[in-house]
Amino acid sequence: MINFAWSADMTDKTEFKQRNKPDEQALKLNAYLLIAPSGDITAMVPNPEFGQNVMTSMPMVLAEEMDADWQRVIAKQANYDARAYDRQFTGGSQSIHQAWNSLRVAGASARQMLVAAAAQQWQVPASEISTEQSVLRHHSSGKQSSYGAMASAAAKLSTPEEVSLKDKADFKLIGNSKKNTVGEDIVTGKPLFGLDYKTEGTLVAMIVHPPAFGQELASANLAAIKKMDGIVDAFSFETVKPDYQNNYFDSNAFPKLVAIVGLKTWQVLKAKRALTAEWSLRPAINETIRLFGTETPRFYPQGLESSTSHTQQMQAVLNGGDMEVLRADGDINAAFDTADTVLERTYTAPYLAHNTMEPMNFYASVKGTSVHVAGPLQAPVFIQGTLAARLNIPQDNIEIEFTRMGGGFGRRAYSHYLVEAAAISQAVKAPVKLMYTREDDMTGGIYRPTYSVKIKGALKNNKLVAYRVSGTGIPEHCIAADRFPAGAVDNYLAEAKAIDSNITTGAFRAPRSNFMASAEQSFLDEIAELAGADAIDFRLELLKRAKDNPVGEKNDYDPERYAGVLKLARESSGWDKLPKSVNKGVAAYFCHNSYAAQVIIVDDNLAVDKVFSAMDCGIVVNRDAAINMVEGAVIDGVGNALFGEMTFTDGVPDKSNFDRYRMIRMKEAPKEIHVSFVENLVDPTGLGEPPFPPVFPALANALYKATGTRLYEQPYAKQLKPSN
């Protein structure tokens, strides 16, 4: 069943003490850990939090290696500090995966320092001192001390150069379920989010951007706006300087904006609505962007684009466009020529808006050469340099404070709104809170790209002997050439071509995978049916080939772990025992270092009845939180698969709020979600994104069983009978 973490034991307050108020007397052992004489342990959380619960899982890893009493651990969000922390980037499902070793070493280092301090005081060998639940013990002498009592002595020692980590089999805290360390603050409405952040004298700021992609500001009635009640200033400004070389996360279709600054939100909103502006066509732009240490060309064509022309462009590419061959195994043409059966299908997906529940916002205070910004963002490492260049202020003078994010899904990695807030603050010489309206957010980018892919497969003696995948998209293609079923088919061809656009797109939960899983796994389901094979058996046979006798050497997945989640999904769902009348669908996918399989059952009214999720993400740190994350991915996947769609007419987004952009509703959520994990001791891998992609095809395959109609275009609901 769906877990509601707050419903089972609301009366148990033992884990709900205020964990966000560390003792000011706490002594620092390293960048991650401070200990107060009282025994309270402050665990600094380096990565921004947007619901994946790093505010609990990261402290759990620290406390595990430290042998700390979990009841004394206080979680505190760290500010951005590239010198102290390795990777303060929430994205790519990498938070725990990337920080795993650093967190363990930090916890083990703190424990070793406490042991060394005790050994010095007690004049006993450190090897004879044991630790448990924040207590140091020397059994033969009977001496013992709390961590708090030993903290002062330990803080004076140097950080050890080498530490011993626990055997994973000895973990006591990791793998269990712990309540969200800030859960009580969330449900009682404490000010945690960016929209809650304010200081005395803060002004309200809003922006106005062009109504259409491909346009830029020509003029506006700024003088009239400045005269309105409560308005402090109104002006046009550029988010980046003309000679600045953008990085990948500087993506922004509207670099020239109008800022309106005032005393109160309602006054600024009224002024924003009263603004009249003239817009002109933006010229075509060629630029080179920095992307993870490399330089990549990017072209933004001139003009006002529409979804109908985008569809035609993608069809033209798939029907004969000059595509780049990404991988070629065997003789694909000969295999098709001699096949018993050939199947070819084309799949498409629209743009998607992120629609985070908390719209974009940021606080900024620029005073001379000092900058303090605070708000919800995923990737400070990629924006600090942009901010320094825009303000002409050294990076060392910029303090970036994280607030909790009201959703992210990739949107808050593109932090132009932070730069906008700081530029406005610098211009008005006062602290400002920049707030986007829902319409600003939904119509200003950043979107999940639109994609299309053609897949052609061949059967010989009911075995898959050829597989050709041709992909395109705007403005990027969707092909990962070395993923399954590459390596499992003798004759395999992957090719792709991207189409330029001036509509800004970017990472959206499980980028590219969120579409490719749908196309690939829907196709495999259909061709398995042609082969007369069970859907899971067909996939397992391909994975066995990839394991026992793989084609090529670049396959980027582990076929045994891939097969493992399919077997677990088969077992947990009772796949083989379900009556033939049950409308069931299955899909599995590998991305972000993890493996996920979904079995979805829909009823005869096409409502999602049950979902069985199987995950292999290595060690599960916090079991309840991990289950909740998978459940969220399932609901998000069902909603986007059925309803998610953004379209454009002459550069203008056709939807600007939830009255037209359809989101999943409570009654449409699955009635039951069952989550299972493959148990192993592999270091943790991704979890926020991997469960999401296979939801789309598992749902499509289940709906096929219910309707007899294969679904090739998203959103699926447009091809189904309306729900009651």
Domain annotation for the chain: domains and CATH numbers: 27-182 (3.30.365.10), 194-285+360-435 (3.30.365.10), 323-352+447-719 (3.30.365.10)
Residue whose C-alpha is closest to residue 720's, from 638, 649, 598, 648: 638
| pLDDT range class, residue 20, cuts 50, 70, 90 | low
Mean pLDDT across the stretch 80-102? 91
CB neighbour class for 447 (10 Å; exposed up to 12, middle 13-18, buried from 19)? buried
Task: Round to whole Å and give the CA distance between 220 and 643.
Answer: 37
**365 and 418 in contact (C-beta within 8 Å)?**
no
> Is the pTM of the predicted complex or chain greater than 0.75?
yes
Mean pLDDT across the stretch 399-406? 95
pLDDT digits (tens, 9 = 90+) for 419-443: 999 999 999 999 999 999 999 999 9
| pLDDT range class, residue 413, cuts 50, 70, 90 | very high
What does the pLDDT read at residue 24?
Answer: 67
Task: Round to whole Å and give the CA distance between 246 and 295.
Answer: 10
Mean pLDDT taken over the chain = 94
What does the pLDDT read at residue 5?
Answer: 31
Residue whose C-alpha is closest to residue 483's, from 517, 459, 522: 517
Residue whose C-alpha is closest to residue 629's, from 689, 555, 669: 689
Asked if residue 321 has pLDDT above 90, the reply is no
pLDDT digits (tens, 9 = 90+) for 229-258: 999 999 999 998 888 889 889 988 999 999
> Which structure tokens are listed for 245?
């070389």
Mean pLDDT across the stretch 88-103? 91
> Which structure tokens are listed for 473?
């998209």
pLDDT digits (tens, 9 = 90+) for 464-518: 999 999 999 999 999 999 999 999 999 999 999 999 999 999 999 999 999 999 9
DSSP state of 711: -
pLDDT digits (tens, 9 = 90+) for 98-147: 999 999 999 999 999 999 999 999 999 999 999 999 999 999 999 999 99
What does the pLDDT read at residue 10?
Answer: 31
pLDDT digits (tens, 9 = 90+) for 653-677: 999 999 999 999 999 999 999 999 9
Asked if residue 724 has pLDDT above 60, the reply is no
pLDDT digits (tens, 9 = 90+) for 558-612: 999 999 999 999 999 999 999 999 999 999 999 999 999 999 999 999 999 999 9
What does the pLDDT read at residue 86?
Answer: 86
Return the SS3 of 514: helix
Mean pLDDT across the stretch 540-569? 97
DSSP characters for 621-648?
SSHHHHHHHHHHHHHHHHHHHHH--B-E
Give the type of residue at 594.
Answer: S
Return the SS3 of 714: coil
Asked if residue 11 has pLDDT above 50, the reply is no
**181 and 58 in contact (C-beta within 8 Å)?**
no
Asked if residue 18 has pLDDT above 70, the reply is no
CA distances 176 to 57, 129, 593, Å, are 10, 26, 22
Residue positions counted in the chain: 724
CA distances 122 to 145, 265, 293, Å, are 10, 62, 51
Strand 352-353 relative to strand 447-448, pairing = antiparallel
**Which is more confident, 530 or 94?**
530
What does the pLDDT read at residue 517?
Answer: 98
What does the pLDDT read at residue 154?
Answer: 97
Mean pLDDT across the stretch 522-526? 98
What does the pLDDT read at residue 553?
Answer: 86
**61 and 174 in contact (C-beta within 8 Å)?**
yes
